Structure 1
C-alpha cells in the first residue's frame, strides 16, 4: 500500500512516538487522523498537529473509536496505558485496559472493514532474559513483566485475526526509543530522564549497579520503520532497535560528555522484573522492510540534546 494518499489513523497520535509518526506520515502525503485522550500540550505540539484531524476519545472504553475508524485504510496502534516498571503492581488493570481495549479495537475494525494494522510491541520486554544475543524474532517469548505478557497476548490475537479473518498485521518489537516529546520522565525513557534531571540539577536514580544492557533507538528511526511496515501487503514481525547493547552506566557517561552536565547519582536495589541484558537482531528489518537505523547512540543523543537546547531558547508563542 502506498502511504501517499492513504487515510491513516494513529491511535496515541499525541504521544511520544505518535507525534514523530504523524509528522512523517503527513510529510509522506498521507491524510492523518489521530485518536487520543484529551490532554494539554505545549504550543509547539499544537502547531505541529494543526493540519491533522484530531478525535478525542477513550481507548480503554472504546469511546470515539467507531468515529475514528470511519473511512481509514490503515491503523497504527501505539496506545499503552502502562509502563514496564509499574505493570506488575496491577496486572488486572494492565489486562483490562491494554488487552481488552485492543480486542475491542479489533472487533470494531472488523465491523468497519479496516483490514490493516501496525502494532507497536516491545522488543525490550517480550523476550524476557534472552538465551542468546542479539535476540532474533524467533526467540521464545518469556516476559517477566505484566507489560511484556500483555504485549505478547496482543501479538497472538493479531496473528489469530490475520489467520482467520485476513487482517494484515505488522508487529514492530521496538527496543528503547528516545528523542523529543518523551514526557514520562522517571517512568519510562532512561535517556530523556537522565538529560532532564541533569538539566534540572536533580539526582539521577539507577536501579541496580548500572550494568544492565539495553538497546536504544532514535525516535525518527522508529517512525521510518513504522511507515515502511504500513506499506506492506502481508503480515510480519520485526525487531526495531540499533542491534547494539549499551549499559546504563555507558549511557550516563555519554550524556554527561555531550551535555557537559554532571550531577548526583543514586544506585538503588536491583528490581527482579528488569531484564539484565538484551539487544535486538535487526537483520529481518534490514532485508524485508529495507530499514536500518540512521543514528548511532552517540549521534542520536547529540541530536536530541541540540533540539532540546533550541526548544528551550525558542521564544514563547502568544
Structure 2
C-alpha cells in the first residue's frame, strides 16, 4: 500500500487488517514511527512497514514481494497548488508512478487500485451528475496528472497484463483528516469551529462538491481490491449528491451547536463550479453505495477535531 501513513491509507490499512488481510505498508512513516525502522517489521496492528520514497524501485520491489493487490494512494500536492509548479508535480506523481508500475510488474502484483480525483479530472461540465464516460478536461495540473496515471495503468495492462482499478473519488472527509491550506473544506471548517476561528470561504460559497465519508471510501477501496473480476476499471466514488460550501458551513454550525463566523475570500481560478458524481457504475460493478448520512458524518468530523485538538493550518 503506497501512502499508508496518510488519511486514506490509515483508514484502509486498519480496515484491511480487521478484515483478516495481510497488509504491507510503504511510504513515509506515520506519527510516532521513526524512519530508521527495519524494513518489513510489523507495527502494533500487525502491519509490515517499509519506509521509503516510492521512486526507489529497489525498495518498492522488495516491499511488493508476495503482494497480490497494490493500492496507490499517493498524491503529492493539492489542486490549488499544482498549477504553481506543474513540472515538479509531474516528477513527483507521474514519473514516480511509472517506477512503481515497473516494480509492480517485476514483483508479480496482480492488481493495482489507484485513487484518482473525481473532483478534478472532469473539469467544467455543462450537466450533472458526471458519469465516467463524460469528457475529461482538467483545469489544474493535479487533475491532468491523475488522468495521466490512469492512462499509464491502461498501458501497463495492455503491455504486461497488469490488472487495475481506478477509483475517481469525489471529496473524501472524516475523522483523522488534518486541515490543510486550500483543500479539504470539511476538515478545515471542523478545525476552525473547534478552535473558535472563522470559516474561510473562497468565493461566495456557491461552489458545489460531492462529499463522501472516509468509511464509505474505505469500503469502496476494499471492494476494488477484492472483487474477482472487474466489468469496468474506471469507477466514480462519491455520495451522488451535491452540496455547496455554504451547505457545509450550515452543517458545521449544526454540529458545533452555535453560529460560526464566515470569512469570505476571493474565488480561485482552479475551482470547478460544480462536481456531482454519478455512482451508478460503483453500485453495479462493486456492489457498493455510501452508507454514512451527511449530517452524522459532519458531526463526527467536528467531534474529532474538538476532542483531538488538531490545529487548523493558517490560510495565507
TM norm structure 1: 0.89
Contact 1:15 1:181 in 2 (8 A): no
Instruction: Please give the residue correspondences for 1:1-318 in structure 2 after superposition, counting only pairs within 5 Å.
Output: 10-41=1-32, 50-62=45-57, 64-232=59-227, 233-234=229-230, 236-309=233-306, 311=308
Q: For the residues of structure 2 that align with 1:256 and 1:62, how far apart are their CA atoms? A: 47
Deviates more, 1:183-192 or 1:88-97: 183-192
Which consecutive residues of structure 2, in runs of 5 or more, have no partner in the other structure?
Answer: 34-41, 310-316
Q: For the residues of structure 1 that align with 2:174 and 2:44, how far apart are their CA atoms? A: 18
Per the TM alignment, residue 158 of structure 1 is displaced from its structure 2 partner at its CA by 0.5
Q: 1:203 to 1:308 in 2, by over 3 A?
A: closer
Q: 1:311 to 1:273 in 2, by over 3 A?
A: closer
Q: For the residues of structure 1 that align with 2:138 and 2:131, how far apart are their CA atoms? A: 15
The alignment of Structure 1 onto Structure 2 pairs a total of residues equal to: 299
Contact 1:198 1:262 in 2 (8 A): no
Q: For the residues of structure 1 that align with 2:4 and 2:259, how far apart are their CA atoms? A: 34
Deviations 1:234-253 (A, max 9, x none): 36111000000000001101
Q: For the residues of structure 1 that align with 2:200 and 2:306, how far apart are their CA atoms? A: 23
Per the TM alignment, residue 27 of structure 1 is displaced from its structure 2 partner at its CA by 1.2
Q: For the residues of structure 1 that align with 2:305 and 2:31, how far apart are their CA atoms? A: 20
Q: Is the partner of 2:76 in helix, strand or coil?
A: coil
Deviations 1:265-286 (A, max 9, x none): 2211111110001110000000
Give runs of ≥4 in structure 1 deviating > 6 Å: none
Q: Is the partner of 2:4 in helix, strand or coil?
A: coil
Which consecutive residues of structure 1, in runs of 5 or more, have no partner in the other structure?
Answer: 1-9, 313-318
Deviations 1:188-216 (A, max 9, x none): 21101101011112222211100000000
Per the TM alignment, residue 97 of structure 1 is displaced from its structure 2 partner at its CA by 0.5
Deviates more, 1:106-115 or 1:131-140: 106-115
Contact 1:102 1:154 in 2 (8 A): yes
Q: Is the partner of 2:167 in helix, strand or coil?
A: strand
Contact 1:57 1:63 in 2 (8 A): no
Deviates more, 1:61-70 or 1:271-280: 61-70
Deviates more, 1:193-202 or 1:98-107: 193-202
Per the TM alignment, residue 41 of structure 1 is displaced from its structure 2 partner at its CA by 4.4
Per the TM alignment, residue 311 of structure 1 is displaced from its structure 2 partner at its CA by 4.8
Q: For the residues of structure 1 that align with 2:127 and 2:268, how far apart are their CA atoms? A: 22
Q: For the residues of structure 2 that align with 1:48 and 1:172, how far apart are their CA atoms? A: 28
